[in-house]
Copies of this chain bind each other. A is one copy, B any other.
Amino acid sequence: MNNIQDIIDLINSNNNFAIVSHTSPDGDCMGSMLGLYNSLVSYSKCVDVYLDDEIPKRLSFIPGAPNILNSFSPKEYDIIFALDCGDIKRLGSFSESLLASGKVVNIDHHLSNDMYGDVNLVIPDMSSVGEIIYNILAEGNLPINEKVAMCLYVSILSDTGGFKYSNTKPSTLITVSKLLEFNIDHSKIYTKLLSEKTKEQVILSSLVSSNLELYFNEKVALLYVTQDMLTKSNVNENDSGDLVNIARDIDTVEVGILIKEKHPELYKISLRSKDYFDVRCVAETFGGGGHTKAAGCAINGTFEEIKAKLLAEIKGNLL
């Protein structure tokens, strides 16, 4: 494990940088990439930023997002930053050729990381890669301006669920307080990222939650989305993400389940828990995986079969 000063030295002593992050980009991925990008640009460095995926519409406002390149044409870089990516395969199809074209600096906060970089800075205690980037920039006296602050605020906000999750440490909030000193419109960014929905999403939420089912003394809540509901509400499947939280956020509930119909005989399952229940164990039973409190899997069968299997698996481990 290398320390922050090594990375500061690499920034100061080189000129051509590339930045890359994982596919299915989220707030931390986009915010940390563009935070570093905007700082290096202000520091008069040559920087290219790459992503092998589409930029989600709700993240397209982040300063620098339009400059993200989608495909890699062979070029030599002094340094390639790979951010928020524990497994090099998640960098996408061009990762191999890109990473071959310079020295790789791997900056991450995932507990499991393959340490694939020439330099590796992996700090699982950090809320987000955005927070690590802030520490690098601050410690190295590298440029932090309103644009950089916006990007890093997006990172930390996203990966802490709005400063809600337990990865929000005192030091996280001190970093955020410093970002707010740059007079960013944090309230607007917060609303855009975590509160806003499309009218279609409101309609879908309404359809889905009208079918709420509760089990085992209301400790388990189950919701489902059918292809028909997606059609009726005109919501793209990728935009239906946080519906499982409606189940988990019910006051009596420990485990929230969302069963999403892919085809009549294939269902994707999202599982969330609140306090003690290890949903990863349940997901793994069905060939899936994830974290203790957020996991998922895919199961073949009819809706009723799958529901019965899931409930049977969960029942035994409820307190």
Could you tell me which A residues sit within 8 Å of B by CB distance?
162-166, 168-174, 176-178, 180-181, 185-188, 190-191, 194-199, 202-203, 205-207, 209-210, 212, 214, 218, 221, 245-246, 249-252, 274-275
When distances are taken between beta carbons in the complex, the residues of chain B under 8 Å from A210 are 203, 206-207, 210
> Given A170-B177, A174-B177, A199-B252, are A209 and B206 also a contact pair (CB < 8 Å)?
yes
A170 to B275, CA, bound (A): 31
Distance of A180 Cα from B186 Cα, bound (Å): 21
The reply to whether B187 and A177 contact each other, CB–CB distance below 8 Å, is no
Known: A162-B162, A166-B186, A205-B206. A249 touches B180 (CB 8 A): no
Instruction: Report whether B186 and A168 are in contact in the complex, using a CB–CB cutoff of 8 Å.
Output: yes
B199 contacts A250, CB within 8 Å? yes
Query: In the complex, are the beta carbons of B186 and A181 less than 8 A apart?
Result: no
Given known pairs A176-B173, A177-B173, A177-B174, the reply for A197 and B249 (CB within 8 Å) is: yes
Q: Are B187 and A166 in contact (CB under 8 A)?
A: yes
* A246 to B203 alpha-carbon distance, docked (Å): 11
A202: which B residues are within 8 A, CB to CB?
A: 209, 212, 246, 250
Q: Quick one: which of B164, B190, B212 contacts A195, CB cutoff 8 A?
A: B164
* Contact of A164 with B191 in the complex, beta carbons under 8 Å: yes
The 5 closest A-B pairs by CB, nearest first: A173-B177, A170-B177, A206-B209, A166-B187, A206-B210
Complex CA distance for A221 and B170, rounded to whole angstroms: 38
| A214 to B, closest residue via Cβ | B199
| Copies of this chain present | 2
Q: Given A166-B186, A177-B170, A191-B164, does the pair A209, B205 have CB atoms closer than 8 Å? A: yes
Question: What CA separation (Å) do A197 and B250 show in the bound complex?
Answer: 5
The complex places the Cα of A245 from the Cα of B172 at a distance, in Å, of 28
When C-beta atoms are compared, the residue in chain B nearest to A248 turns out to be: B195
Q: Nearest residue in B to A187 (C-beta to C-beta)?
A: B166
Residues of B within 8 A of A221 (CB): 199
Q: How far is the CA of A207 from the CA of B210 in the complex (A)?
A: 7
C-alpha spacing A221/B177, complex, angstroms: 34
* CB-defined contacts of A275 to chain B, threshold 8 Å: 188
Q: Is the CB of B218 within 8 A of A209?
A: no
CB closest residue in chain B, given A166: B187
Q: List 19 A-B contacts (CB under 8 A).
A: A164-B187, A164-B190, A166-B186, A166-B187, A170-B177, A170-B180, A170-B181, A172-B177, A173-B173, A173-B174, A173-B180, A174-B174, A177-B177, A197-B250, A198-B250, A203-B210, A205-B205, A206-B206, A207-B210
Instruction: Name the B residues within 8 Å of A176 (CB-CB).
Output: 173
* Contact assessment for A169 and B173 in the assembled complex, using a CB-CB cutoff below 8 Å: no
User: Which residues of B sit under 8 angstroms from A172, Cβ to Cβ?
Assistant: 177
A246 to B210, alpha carbons, bound, how many Å?
16
Cα–Cα, bound, A221→B205 (Å): 16
| Chain B contacts for A250, CB-based, 8 A | 196-199, 202
Q: A186-B166, A209-B205 are in contact. Are A249 and B196 (CB under 8 A)?
A: yes
Query: Residues of B contacting A196 with CB < 8 Å?
Result: 249-251
